[in-house]
Structure 1
């Protein structure tokens, strides 16, 4: 392939992303307010799912307890704002920091307790997330239990939903860029090597547990950012943020979109939203449709929607090349 064509292809994706971000930013000034709320919710869900993708897709660590760090970020920022009257800016910074420490502490025990089996890791992550859920639910004096925390209002410029959408867009784009750099770095490549063959990686001297713990903490940090964004977007948080059902959503988004692709969770989140909204127009049992979709993807599309798109693209290129020869 000529060098000019290679350069054009390498520049096409960043340019497309830049155009998309610019269109979203411009649309915030003209779209109806309900679309602005939906856009903010989707942006937060995308960041939440992409943070889990670092563990699942690149680290090969199936986590069903990622909601713990999402909830830690949300509750830390919410409690500091409402209970201790911290400023919004300080509370927003503190939320991801608390989630990072939570991921470090929990990850230390989860990584040490894992014996290389996906089922063990899955159950350990689930157990620690339920621990967070139980503390939030039972510690009524601080967290108000099932009543939740209310009054987590964005102040100043961010009190306008359109401005908050722009803020969330900027934060999510920055976080996705950082995640992309991490996954493309030597750290990310080493993480994939551990995922593909942990025995060989350990044999050549790679400290597997350190890399896995680092990935766990990084993923927890970005989940904490998503949780903090959600707290100030929603204004109300409840213990359900830490429940195992809250971990199922990003897990399904990765599975449906394509767990081994950076773009997989993004397409997965959008697909889940479309299925929920469209099926929800006719029935209250939209979760059945989501479950059936996950089963169909798992059986017939093991690489997810992105993998299917890549296969179709490869087939089209092959057909086009055959005609030009």
Structure 2
């Protein structure tokens, strides 16, 4: 990373944070290392959703299907294909991107709520196929004992691998958001009619954005397998998509790193709540209600709003 990439002020915070994250496993117990590695995967997933939600204004209500599809693609390639395991890290995200392209072609003619509802319907169809195809996907039992490269074996190695891949993927997404395509994508979010009037192909940009978001969700799916060593149909279920959406809102869906923060809070909270009760969805509902009433900008969004320098009066 360079100062030209994120800006001098941001780099002052980002470089020490990354350094701390690389040192952290030396001081944490094994379970917390595992939890942090899971946060990196989940945070990358939430950021990939925010690529089309916060920066594209698309009502992507079933983003988990690309996450789970990437995880299953990696698992099946590792267990059934006979190909080198490491190849799954490249092919699985491509499979998710292809699924994103196919679903996008079927839904892109619609907009807003109708687009989101059809996404849920088609995503649920993919979930049902994986849930019932026992001979190939293991059905509701999932796939367990998935091999990973030796460099990723062990909680500490999985932590460093997930952290490194997540940082690289975040840099790529940041470059996309701040590229001419990304600026146009945000313009479509703010005013699609005006963009269409000046010659921008709105649907094509949205389709590309959806495919890119699906690709990075697939990357997150491979990181989940690296940590867990197993996959199961719940990874594609619509309730997980709702949880990811809450992560984006909690962290700040108009701030690039907001979903990463939201994912960290939700994953840590779920781990703590699980010690005392099995009613996690009840707690999640309360979090969403409090968020809507008291923190509509999200945690990071509120922080940026309070510390933003006032614009000089011309």
Bin the TM-score by the shorter chain: over 0.9
- Map residues 1-325 of structure 1 onto 2, 5 A cutoff: 10-112=7-109, 114=110, 116=111, 118-314=112-308
Q: Which runs of 5+ in 2 are unaligned?
A: none
TM-fit CA distance, 1:18: 1.7
SS in 2 for 1:58: coil
Question: What is the TM-score with the length of structure 1 in the denominator?
Answer: 0.89
What is the alpha-carbon distance in structure 2 between the residues aligned to residue 164 and residue 279 of structure 1?
Answer: 25
What is the alpha-carbon distance in structure 2 between the residues aligned to residue 76 and residue 278 of structure 1?
Answer: 31
TM-fit CA distance, 1:309: 1.2
Which deviations, in whole Å up to 9, do the C-alpha atoms of 1:232-275 show, x marking residues without a partner? Answer: 22111111111101211211101122211112211211221343
Q: Judging changes above 3 Å, is the alpha-carbon distance between structure 1 residues 281 and 78 closer, same or farther for their aligned structure 2 residues? A: closer
Match of 1:3 in 2: none
8 Å Cα contact 2:49/2:213 also seen in 1: yes
Which deviations, in whole Å up to 9, do the C-alpha atoms of 1:55-113 show, x marking residues without a partner? Answer: 1001101111111111111111101111123211112221111111111111111102x
8 Å Cα contact 2:75/2:146 also seen in 1: yes
TM-fit CA distance, 1:27: 1.8
Task: Tell me which moved more, 36-45 or 304-313.
Answer: 304-313
Aligned Cα root-mean-square deviation (Å): 2.0
8 Å Cα contact 1:64/1:123 also seen in 2: yes
Q: Which runs of 5+ in 1 are unaligned?
A: 1-6
TM-fit CA distance, 1:281: 4.1
Please tell me whether Structure 1 or Structure 2 has the larger radius of gyration of its CA atoms. Answer: 1
Corresponding pairs, count: 308
Question: What is the TM-score with the length of structure 2 in the denominator?
Answer: 0.92
8 Å Cα contact 1:78/1:149 also seen in 2: yes
Which deviations, in whole Å up to 9, do the C-alpha atoms of 1:98-146 show, x marking residues without a partner? Answer: 111111111111102x1x3x21011011112111101101111101101
